[in-house]
Amino acid sequence: NAGVMQNPRHLVRRRGQEARLRCSPMKGHSHVYWYRQLPEEGLKFMVYLQKENIIDESGMPKERFSAEFPKEGPSILRIQQVVRGDSAAYFCASSPRRGGGINEKLFFGSGTQLSVL
């Protein structure tokens, strides 16, 4: 089992460009979560998705940020018109089922470090 795969590991963008971060969950996992980590901060929840559905996006900024998890392929976190404040590590996590059950442990990917120049 390859674990949660994120790419790219590092992404450099200039202000105003678009950033696309990809996440492939662990095999057999159908629930994906995106978190943002700022320097010396904890992980902040952004969005929770299942295949083809956004379940909870209460932690995601209303503008410029979007996420999807299509039927085929990885989950994508998209940031349009990036600004310097978007610079952070973005982590994806997956679980086999919705939280609240016995076996809903989250497994994290290695993250994408986004740097906005």
Residues forming the site for another protein (CB under 8 A): 4, 31, 33, 35, 40-45, 48, 55-56, 58-59, 91, 95, 98-100, 104-111
In order, the DSSP letters of 11-75 are: EEE-TT--EEEEEEPPTT--EEEEEEE-TT--EEEEEEEETTEEEE-TTS-SSSEEEE--SSS-E
CB of 110 to another protein, least distance (A): 5
Choice between 17 and 37, CB closer to another protein: 37
Helix (H, G, I), strand (E, B) or coil at 78: strand
Give min distance, CB of 75 to another protein, in A: 15
| CB of 13 or CB of 95, closer to another protein | 95
